[in-house]
Amino acid sequence: MADFEPVLLANIHLPDSHTFDVYEGKGGYRALRKTMRELKPVDVIEMVKASGLRGRGGAGFPTGLKWTFLPKDHPGPVYFLLNADESEPGTFNNRILMEEDPHQILEGLILSCFATRATAAYIYLRYEYPLALERMQRAVDECYRARYLGANILGSGYSLDVTLHRGAAAYICGEETGLIESLEGKRAWPRIKPPFPAVEGVFRKPTVVNNVETAACVTQIMSRGSDWFKSIGVPPPADNPRDAGSYGPKLYCLSGHIERPGCYEAPLGITVRQLVDQYGGGVWRGRKAKAAIPGGISMGLLREDEFDCPLDFSGPGRYGCLGLGTAAVVILDETVSIMDYLYNSARFFAHERGGQCPPCREGTSWALKILERIRAGRGRLKDLDLLAEIAGSIGIIPGTTICGLADGAAWPMKNALSKFREECEETIKRTNPKGWMVTDPVPALEAGITVHELKAVH
C-alpha cells in the first residue's frame, strides 16, 4: 500500500477544486477529448470491461457487463441515470466527490453515456445535499459552455443533455427502480424485476443506472488505462474463481468511534484493521473496538476479532455479512450496547421501508416493537428467537420481497444475534430480572407510549 497513489481524491484539497478551470488545469477532460476524437463507443465498453470495474453503489455488479445488457437494435432513446441519492447511513463519499470534484464525475458520466449511446442523462441527487446540487449544476453549466455537453459534442456527431433532479428525501429512492419511479414523478416504490432497467427503465426505455463513484472510476480508467486500474485491488479468491475480483481504488468512509473520521481512498482489499489504524488513527479515546459495520448499516456487523476481514467485494460475505455495500465503515467502541445498535438500525429501516411487500412492511415494524419493548425492560429471551425468525424470513435472499431494503434490515439482526448472542441475553436478564424467562405471549407496549419515553437499557 505504500506506493498507492490516490486519484479519486487527488484534487479535492486544491482551492476551487470544484471549478472547470481548476479541473481542466490538472489535465481534466483530456480523456474525453481523446475519446471523442479517436474511439468508438464499443472501445470504451471494452476498456471498462477489461478494467474489472464493479459498481460502487452497493451491489458490485460489473459495470461494462451491465452496459452490454442494453438491447442492441433499440431505436432509442436510451437513458442514463446517475444515482447520487446516497442515503445509506455512514456513507458520504458521493457527497465529497460532488462538492469538491464534480467535473471528475461529469467527465465519467459523459464517457459512460457515449459508451452506451445514451442521449439524455439524469442525475438524481439526494435532497439533503444542497451544496452538491449547487456545484453539480454549476459544473453542468460550465460543460455546456465548453461544448462538452449539448449538440455535436466537440464536433464528434454525438449529442448529450444532462438534467439534475433533486431527490425526494427517502432512502428507498436510492434503489434503482424506486429512483426511476421517483424521477417519473411517482412514489418511489421499487419495481418487480425483470424487466431490468437496461431493458425497461425511465419512461419504459432502456436505461443504465450507475453510482457517482462508478462514474469517477470511468474517468480514471479512460485516462490511465484498464491495466493501471486492474493493477490495484485483489483478484477473485482462490476458492471462488467465478467471483469477478475487486479492482481499482475505493473510497472508504470511516466514522463512529474513531480518532480521525473521514473519507479515505485506498486499494480495494484493505482490511478493517488497516483502515482503522493506518488511516483513522485508531479507536477514539484509546478505547477498544467492539464491532464494526463494514459497508453501511445494511451490511451487518463484524466483531473486533474479525477486523482482518478484507474490504473487497467478497470479504465481508466470508465473515457472515451481506457484502461490501457502500464501504462505509462505522466503528462501535466497547461501551456500545449491541441492543442499542439493533434498536437504532430497526428504527431506521421501519421508518424508511416502502410498504408494498408484507414481509418487509410487517417484519420491520414488528422487529422495532420487540426492540422497543426490550429497551423498556420487558424483554424475554424468547424475543431473540423471534427477531432471528423475522430476520430469516424477509428479503430478496429468502425470496419474499421486491427489493433489497428488507435484506438490509435483516442483516444487522442476523449478525448481532449470532455474533453477540451472549450480550443480548445478558441485557435482557439485567433489564427484566423477573420476566426474562417468560414464554407466554407478552402484550405489546401500552398504546401511546413514544420511543423517547422508553427507558434505555443502560
Ligand X SMILES: Cc1cc2nc3c(=O)[nH]c(=O)nc-3n(C[C@H](O)[C@H](O)[C@H](O)COP(=O)(O)O)c2cc1C
Q: Which residues bind ligand X (CB under 6 A)?
A: 55-59, 61, 83, 85-87, 171-172, 174-176, 209-211, 214, 403-405
What are the phi and psi torsion angles at 254 (to 5°)? -115, 125
* Amino acid making up residue 254: L
List the one residue from 84, 172, 208, 346 that touches ligand SF4 (CB under 6 A): 172
Per CB under 6 A, does 130 bind ligand SF4? no
Grid cell in block for residue 380: 424475554
As given in the structure block, the three cell numbers for residue 193 are 424485476
Does 190 engage in binding with ligand SF4 (CB under 6 A)? yes
Task: Identify the residue among 120, 330, 360, 391 touching ligand SF4 (CB under 6 A).
Answer: 360
Give the contact letters, 79-118, x = binds to ligand SF4 (CB under 6 A), - = no.
----------------------------------------
Considering the complex, state which of residue 86 and residue 181 has its C-beta at the smaller distance from ligand X: 86
Nearest to 342 by CA among 289, 295, 388: 388
Q: Say what angle helices 102-116 and 93-100 make with each other, to 10 degrees.
A: 100
Contact between 316 and 295 under an 8 Å Cβ cutoff? The reply is: yes
Among 45, 96, 405, 417, contact with ligand SF4 (rule: CB under 6 A): 405
Query: Which of 457, 437, 414, 137 minimizes the C-alpha distance to 298?
Result: 414
Distance (Å) of CA 218 to CA 47, 49, 122, 162 = 9, 11, 17, 17
Give least dist CB 32 to ligand X, A: 19
C-alpha 319/C-alpha 307 separation (Å) is: 10
> Cell numbers of 292, please?
464494526
- Would you say 381 or 396 has its CB closer to ligand SF4? 396
Residue 19 or 365 having the CB closest to ligand SF4? 365
Alpha helices (H) along 238-310: 272-274
**Minimum CB distance to ligand X smaller for 20 or for 122:** 122
Judged by CB under 6 A, does residue 393 bind ligand SF4?
no
- Which of the listed partners (ligand X, ligand SF4, none) does 56 bind, with a CB threshold of 5 to 8 Å by partner kind? ligand X
- Cα separation, 245 vs 235, in Å, equals 4
Stretch that binds ligand SF4, among 107-115, 145-153, 289-297, 396-404 (CB under 6 A): 396-404
List the single partner that 355 binds among ligand SF4, ligand X, none, CB under 5 to 8 Å by kind. Answer: ligand SF4
Helices (H), 283-404: 315-318, 338-352, 358-373, 381-393
Binding test (CB under 6 A) with ligand SF4, winner from 210, 401, 431, 432? 401
Q: Which residue has the cell 429512492?
A: 173
Considering the complex, state which of residue 390 and residue 405 has its C-beta at the smaller distance from ligand SF4: 405
List contacts with ligand SF4 (CB under 6 A): 172, 190, 353-357, 360-361, 401-403, 405-406
